[in-house]
Structure 1
């Protein structure tokens, strides 16, 4: 008889979810009981952006996510060098690095 490990978690990943969703902006809001993270895709020259995915977390899980992201960023930077961030204007207009109208 085969013994099963009850501590093992079986996670399924559908093909659709495995493809992922590209996002270049995240907006985070919270209440006393939850954190809401909206992942948004903004395109240059398009004044309207769509929320592509919304994740709702308990405060405890939001803090666990923060810790996991910090750990993974530390590991990434140790292997690949420091991630540099450009300052973005406060009105959410994104600079895609080229001149306006350049293809």
Structure 2
């Protein structure tokens, strides 16, 4: 038993250019065969800004979706059902839309 190796602990550092979290109330998703691209935006009225862009592989995105679904289930078990909000209406064409 003395020779049993302990699992190595993974150390993850936050990059200096990421000071804190950003709030997003809009998102666009697009994809190619090799990757998914997600653009997160904070929009108020007729103005807004892109706060984050994330690109990932299709396989990893499936794991992200599964983790989000699991956490939504746990949230709703604790706090009750989440009512889906209506998509924001804008004249710019931005929003929670599927880009083909």
Q: Once superposed, which parts of structure 1, at least 4 consecutive aligned residues long, lie more than 4 Å away?
A: 89-94
> How many residues in Structure 1 have an aligned counterpart in Structure 2?
89
For the aligned residue pairs, the C-alpha RMSD in angstroms reads 2.5
Normalising by structure 2, what TM-score? 0.74
Which structure has more relative contact order (CA 8 Å, sep 6+)? It is 2
Contact 2:39 2:54 in 1 (8 A): yes
SS where residue 42 of structure 1 aligns? strand
CA distance in 2, matches of 1:39, 1:93: 11
Deviations 1:22-80 (A, max 9, x none): 11011111000000010000012xx2322110000000011000000000010011111
- Measured at CA, do residues 61 and 81 of structure 1 come closer, stay the same or move farther in structure 2, by a change above 3 Å? same
Q: TM-score, normalised by structure 1?
A: 0.72
Q: Could you list the runs of 5+ residues in structure 2 that have no partner in the other structure?
A: 96-100
- Give structure 1 stretches of 5+ with no counterpart: 95-103
